[in-house]
C-alpha cells in the first residue's frame, strides 16, 4: 500500500536518483530549489518520463522501464496542485472544479462538486472567475479540483510558497484537515523548513538530485544523517524558532 | 548606425542609377507595337528583320487581346503602332481620334477553325457536333475583349447552336489562351484562328475551317497611334509589314496578306 | 445586364469566400495544432509548404494548382478518369484557389495563439484525467480564441479578394465563375467604366461592412 518510487533521470547535466516509499501519510520532499523535488513529482504524475525505474501506487504499476509500462497522466489516479495553481482563467470556479470530475455521470458530478464547494467553503464564489477571487480562494479551488474525483494520492508542488504568512498558515491547517479526511498518500514539496516541520509525517530530504535522508521530522531534525542535512535543517537555531512560534510541537530532548 | 558619408554615397548612387535608367529608356526610335496575340510569331520575326535593317531602331512588342490593347491605348498607354484582329477595335480608336490620319490600312485576312486536343477521342465533324454530350467544355475567346470570341459567337449563331452550347463555354482572355486550354486538354474543343492552330500542329487537330459566310470577314488593320514620338519609325515599321518581305513572313505563318487602304 | 453581373458576382464572391473560410478553419486549426504541439519527421517541410502561398505570387500558386488539379494534372487526371469531371473552370476551383491562398494566414495566426497558451494549464488538464483531444477542445482552443478569430477574419478577407490564382483555374466565366474581383477586371478591361465603378463601390462597402461586423463580433466573443 502507498506510493513507491525508484527512478533516475539524466538531463541537462543534472542527474536525479530518487528512491523512497510512503504509506497513507503526508510526506514532505524537502531541500533547496533545483534539488530535484519538482522533477520527481512530474515523473510521478507522468508529465515527464524517467530514464529507468519503477513507480507504483497501491499495488498498481504506473511506470516500469523494464516491462515497458508507462501510463499516461490521465490513467494515473493523482490529484496534482501546481505551484502557480494553473486554474483555468476562462472557466468559473464551478467549471474549474467540475473539470476534475471527468468520467462521472452528470448528477454524480454535480453532487461531488457541491460537496467540494461546501468542504472548501467556496459557496458564493461558484460563478466567479479566478481573476475575481482572493489568493486563498484560488488555493481552495485548486485543491477542490484536484480532489473531486477522490484520487489515490495527492501531489502538491510548493503551492503555498507565494503566499504571505497568515494565509500560508491557514492553508497549512487546511492541508492537515485534508490529510484527516482523505486517507491517501500526500506528497508535498517545499524548501521551507518551518513548513516541512509543520506538515510532515515524514520528511524526505533532497540534495543535488538524490535523497540523503528519509524519516520522521524528529529523526531528521535531531539526527541529521549528513552535514548537508544539518545545514539544510539548521537544527539548533531554527528548531528553537519553531518551538517558539508553532502551537503544537513535540518536545525535544 | 548609418553614418552620414555612407548615406550620401548611397543617395548619389541611387540618383545616378535612376537617371541612367531614364536615359536608357529613351534611345533613338524605340517603338512600341501593340498587336493582336495571333500575330505574335509573325510579328516577332518581322521585328527582328526591322532591327537588322534599321540599326538604330528597336521594337518592343506588346501582345494581347485586341480589346485589351485598345483599352490600354485609350487609357493613354505610350504605344506607337497598333495592329488588331478585327476592324471593330481600330474603328473605336479611330472614332476617338487615337489614329494618325492616312496611316491606317488592312494588311492581312485570317480564318477561324474548330480544334480539338490531338488526344481527343470524341467524334467531331461539324460545329453542330458541339452539341453532343461528350463535348463538355468548349474554349472560346471572351467576346467582350477578344475578336475571335466575337467571331465564335457569330459562327454559333449562324449554326443556331448558341443556346445549346452556352453552358459549355469557357472564356479565355485571348486567342492563345484558348489554344493553350485545348493543348492542355482542359477542354474538349476550342475556336481559334487557323494561324494559331498552325503553331501547335502536334498538340491539336483541326476539325474544320468555318465557312466565310458564318462570320464577319476577318480583316486585320494596322495604324500609327496618335501621340507617338517616333512617327517616322512607326511608319517605317508598317511599311515593312506591308512590304513583300513582310507579306512573305505573314504568309509563312498562314495569314492571307491583302493590299487595301481603309 | 449590369445588375445581373453585379448581383451574381457579389453572391458568388461571398459564397466562395465563406466556404473557403470554413475549410481554412478546419484544416488550418488542425495544422496549427500539429505544428505547435507535435514533433514529427518533415515538420519543417510542412511548415514551409503551408507558408509558401503567402510568399508566392498568386499566379505562381495558380500555376501549381493547374499542375495538380488540371484535367491532365497529377491528381486531376485520376479524378477525370474516374468521374469524367474536372474542377477547372468551375466555381469549386475558385473555392480551392481561395482556400490555398488564405490557409497560411490562419495557420500562422492560430499557431502563434496556440503556442501562447500556458503549458501548465495543458498539463493540469492531463493530470485531471483528460485526453489530448478534450484538452485541445476545452482548454487550448478557448484560450487561443483571439488569434483564431483574427486568423478567420484575415482568411475571409483574403478569400474575398482572391484574383490571380482564381483567374487561372476557375477562369473568368460570366454567370459561373466570375467572382467580383474578376468581374471588375473584365468590366475595366473592356472599357465598361460605369459598371466597373458601381462594382468597385459595392465591393468596398461590403468589405467595410464585413470589417465592422467582424470587429463587433470579436469584441463580443472576447
Please indicate, yes or no, whether residues B189 and B248 belong to a single structural domain of this protein: no
Q: Do residues B97 and B169 both lie within one domain?
A: no
Domain boundaries, chain C: 2-221
Taking only the tens place, the pLDDT of each residue in B235-252 is 999 999 999 999 999 999
Domain shared by B90 and B182, yes or no = no
Q: Do B224 and B243 have their domain in common?
A: yes
Q: Residue B158: which pLDDT band, with cuts at 50, 70 and 90? A: very high
The residue of chain B with its CA nearest to that of C177 is B170
Chains in touch with C (3+ beta-carbon pairs under 8 Å) read A, B
Mean pLDDT of A190-210: 89
Q: Which domain holds residue B120?
A: 112-214
| For C139, nearest residue in chain A (alpha carbons) | A88
Note whether residue B11 is domain-resident.
no
pLDDT bucket at A252, cuts 50 / 70 / 90: low
Phi, psi of A198 (to 5 degrees): -65, -40
Same domain, B228 and B99: yes
For C121, which residue in chain A has the nearest alpha carbon?
A86
pLDDT over 90 at A223, yes or no: no
* Confidence (pLDDT) at A188: 95
Question: For position C1, what pLDDT does the model report?
Answer: 42
Which residues in chain C have their CB less than 8 angstroms from residue A86's CB? 118, 120-121, 123-124
Query: For position B25, what pLDDT does the model report?
Result: 44
pLDDT of residue B19: 62
pLDDT for res B83: 96
Q: What is the pLDDT of residue B21?
A: 52
**Per-residue model confidence (pLDDT) at position B106:** 94
CATH code for the structural domain at A3-77+152-245: 3.40.50.300
Q: What is the pLDDT of residues A114-149, one digit of tens each?
A: 999 998 999 989 999 999 999 889 999 999 999 998
Are both B52 and B104 inside the same structural domain?
A: yes
- The count of domains in chain B is 2
Q: Examine the pLDDT at A253 and tell me if it is beyond 60.
A: no
Q: Domain residue spans in chain A?
A: 3-77+152-245
User: Is residue B5 scored above 80 in pLDDT?
Assistant: no
A73: nearest CB among C118, C127, C143? C127
- Give pLDDT, residue B9: 78
DSSP-derived secondary structure for chain B = ---HHHHHHHHHHHHHHHHHHHHHT--TTEEEEEEEGGGHHHHHHHHHHHHHHSTT-EEEEEEE-HHHHHHHHHTT---SEEE-SSHHHHHHHHHTT-B-TT--EEEEE--EEEEEETT------SSGGGGSTT---EEEE-TTT-HHHHHHHHHHHHTT-HHHHGGGEEEESSHHHHHHHHHTTSSSEEEEEHHHHHHTTTTEEEEEEPPGGGS---EEEEEEBTT-S-HHHHHHHHHHHHSHHHHHHHHHTT-EEEEEE-
> What band does A94 get if pLDDT is binned at 50, 70 and 90?
very high
Q: Note whether B186 contacts C89, CB cutoff 8 Å.
A: yes
Q: Are C70 and B172 in contact (CB < 8 Å)? A: no
Predicted local distance difference test score (pLDDT) of residue A243: 67
Interface contact B142-C72, CB threshold 8 A? no
Q: Are residues B205 and B233 in the same domain?
A: no
Chain C residues with CB under 8 Å of A90 CB are: 142-143
B132 shares its domain with B70:
no
Residues B131 and B55 in one domain: no
pLDDT, average across residues B118-139: 92
Cβ separation C128–A102 shorter than 8 A: yes
pLDDT at B262 over 50: no
Q: From CA B119, how far away is CA C70, in angstroms rounded?
A: 16
* Shared-domain flag, residues B103 and B117: no
Please give the grid coordinates belonging to residue A230: 544539518
In a domain? residue B200: yes
Domain with residue B126: its CATH number is 3.40.190.10
Asked whether residue C3 carries a pLDDT value surpassing 80, the answer given is: no
Instruction: Let me know whether B142 and B171 are in one domain.
Output: yes
Q: Is A84 on the interface with C (CB under 8 A)?
A: yes
- Quickly state the pLDDT bin for A236 (edges 50, 70, 90): low
Task: Tell me the pLDDT tens digit for each residue of C182-213.
Answer: 999 888 877 778 889 999 999 999 999 988 98
Cβ B184 vs Cβ B170: under 8 Å = no
For B86-99, what is the mean pLDDT?
A: 94
Cβ contact B142–C186 (<8 Å): yes
Which residue did the predictor score with more confidence, A103 or C23? C23
What is the pLDDT at residue B26? 40
User: Which architecture does CATH list for C2-221?
Assistant: Orthogonal Bundle (1.10)
Same domain for B196 and B246, yes or no, is no
Locus of grid cell 508566392? C56
**Which one of C71, C93, C178 makes the best mutation probe of the B interface by having the most chain B beta carbons within 10 Å?**
C71
Distance of residue C20 Cα from the nearest chain A Cα, in angstroms = 30
- Is residue B142 a contact partner of residue B229, using CB atoms and an 8 Å limit? no
Q: Which residues contact C208 (CB under 8 A, 6 or more apart)?
A: none
Amino acid at each position: 500500500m502507498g506510493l513507491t518510487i525508484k527512478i533516475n533521470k539524466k538531463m541537462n547535466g543534472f542527474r536525479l536518483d530518487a528512491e523512497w516509499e510512503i504509506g497513507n501519510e503526508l510526506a514532505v520532499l524537502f531541500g533547496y530549489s533545483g534539488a530535484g523535488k519538482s522533477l520527481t513529482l512530474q515523473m510521478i504524475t507522468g508529465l515527464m518520463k524517467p530514464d529507468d525505474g519503477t513507480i507504483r501506487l497501491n499495488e498498481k504499476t504506473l511506470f516500469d522501464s523494464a516491462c515497458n509500462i508507462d501510463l499516461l497522466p490521465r490513467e494515473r489516479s493523482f490529484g496534482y496542485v501546481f505551484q502557480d495553481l494553473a486554474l483555468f482563467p476562462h472557466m468559473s470556479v464551478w467549471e474549474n472544479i467540475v473539470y476534475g470530475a471527468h468520467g462521472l455521470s452528470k448528477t454524480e458530478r454535480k453532487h461531488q462538486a457541491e460537496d467540494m464547494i461546501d468542504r472548501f467553503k467556496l459557496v458564493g464564489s461558484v460563478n466567479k472567475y479566478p481573476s475575481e477571487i482572493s489568493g486563498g480562494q484560488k488555493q481552495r479551488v485548486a485543491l477542490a479540483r484536484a480532489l473531486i474525483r477522490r484520487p489515490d494520492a495527492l501531489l502538491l508542488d510548493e503551492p503555498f510558497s507565494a503566499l504571505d504568512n497568515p494565509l500560508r498558515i491557514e492553508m497549512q491547517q487546511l492541508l492537515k484537515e485534508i490529510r484527516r479526511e482523505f486517507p491517501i498518500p500526500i506528497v508535498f514539496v517545499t524548501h521551507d523548513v518551518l513548513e516541512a516541520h509543520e506538515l510532515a509525517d515524514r520528511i524526505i530530504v533532497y540534495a543535488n538530485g538524490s535523497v540523503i535522508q528519509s524519516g520522521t521530522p524528529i529523526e531528521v531534525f535531531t539526527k541529521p544523517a549528513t552535514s548537508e542535512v544539518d545545514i539544510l535543517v539548521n537544527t539548533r537555531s531554527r528548531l528553537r524558532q519553531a518551538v517558539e512560534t508553532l502551537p503544537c510541537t513535540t518536545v525535544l530532548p | 548606425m548609418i553614418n552620414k558619408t555612407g548615406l550620401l554615397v548611397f543617395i548619389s548612387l541611387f540618383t545616378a542609377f535612376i537617371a541612367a535608367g531614364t536615359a536608357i529608356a529613351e534611345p533613338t526610335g524605340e517603338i512600341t507595337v501593340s498587336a493582336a496575340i495571333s500575330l505574335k510569331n509573325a510579328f516577332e520575326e518581322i521585328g527582328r528583320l526591322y532591327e537588322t535593317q534599321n540599326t538604330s531602331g528597336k521594337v518592343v512588342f506588346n501582345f494581347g487581346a485586341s480589346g485589351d490593347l485598345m483599352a490600354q491605348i485609350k487609357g493613354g498607354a505610350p504605344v506607337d503602332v497598333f495592329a488588331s484582329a478585327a476592324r471593330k477595335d481600330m474603328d473605336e480608336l479611330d472614332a476617338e481620334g487615337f489614329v494618325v490620319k492616312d496611316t491606317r490600312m488592312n494588311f492581312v485576312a485570317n480564318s477561324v477553325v474548330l480544334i480539338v486536343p490531338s488526344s481527343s477521342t470524341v467524334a467531331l465533324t461539324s460545329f453542330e457536333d458541339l452539341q453532343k454530350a461528350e463535348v463538355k467544355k468548349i474554349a472560346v475567346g471572351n467576346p467582350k475583349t477578344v475578336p475571335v470570341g466575337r467571331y465564335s459567337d457569330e459562327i454559333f449563331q449562324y449554326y443556331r447552336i448558341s443556346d445549346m452550347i452556352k453552358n459549355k463555354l469557357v472564356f479565355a482572355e485571348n486567342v492563345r489562351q484558348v489554344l493553350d486550354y485545348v493543348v492542355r486538354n482542359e477542354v474538349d474543343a476550342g475556336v481559334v484562328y487557323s494561324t494559331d492552330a498552325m503553331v501547335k500542329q502536334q498538340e491539336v487537330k483541326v476539325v474544320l475551317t468555318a465557312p466565310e459566310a458564318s462570320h464577319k470577314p476577318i480583316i486585320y488593320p494596322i495604324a500609327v497611334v496618335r501621340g507617338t514620338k517616333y512617327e517616322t519609325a512607326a511608319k517605317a515599321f508598317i511599311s515593312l509589314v506591308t512590304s513583300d518581305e513582310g507579306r512573305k513572313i505573314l504568309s509563312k505563318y498562314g495569314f492571307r496578306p491583302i493590299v487595301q487602304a481603309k | 445586364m449590369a445588375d445581373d453581373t453585379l448581383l451574381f458576382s457579389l453572391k458568388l464572391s461571398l459564397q466562395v469566400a465563406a466556404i473557403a473560410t470554413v475549410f481554412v478553419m478546419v484544416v488550418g486549426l488542425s495544422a496549427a495544432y500539429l505544428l505547435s504541439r507535435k514533433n514529427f519527421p518533415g515538420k519543417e517541410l510542412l511548415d514551409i509548404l503551408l507558408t509558401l502561398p503567402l510568399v508566392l505570387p498568386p499566379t505562381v500558386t495558380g500555376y501549381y494548382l493547374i499542375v495538380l488539379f488540371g484535367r491532365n494534372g497529377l491528381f486531376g487526371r485520376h479524378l477525370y478518369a474516374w468521374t469524367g469531371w474536372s474542377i477547372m473552370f468551375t466555381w469549386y476551383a475558385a473555392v480551392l484557389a481561395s482556400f490555398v491562398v488564405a490557409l497560411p494566414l490562419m495557420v500562422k495566426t492560430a499557431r502563434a495563439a496556440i503556442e501562447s497558451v500556458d503549458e501548465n494549464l495543458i498539463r493540469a488538464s492531463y493530470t485531471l484525467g483528460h485526453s489530448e483531444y478534450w484538452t485541445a477542445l476545452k482548454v487550448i482552443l478557448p484560450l487561443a480564441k483571439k488569434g483564431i478569430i483574427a486568423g478567420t477574419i484575415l482568411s475571409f478577407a483574403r478569400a474575398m479578394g482572391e484574383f490571380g490564382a482564381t483567374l487561372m483555374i476557375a477562369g473568368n466565366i460570366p454567370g459561373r465563375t466570375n467572382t467580383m474581383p474578376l468581374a471588375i477586371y473584365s468590366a475595366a478591361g473592356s472599357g465598361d467604366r460605369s459598371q466597373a465603378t458601381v462594382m468597385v463601390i459595392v465591393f468596398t462597402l461590403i468589405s467595410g461592412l464585413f470589417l465592422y461586423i467582424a470587429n463587433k463580433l470579436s469584441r463580443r466573443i472576447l
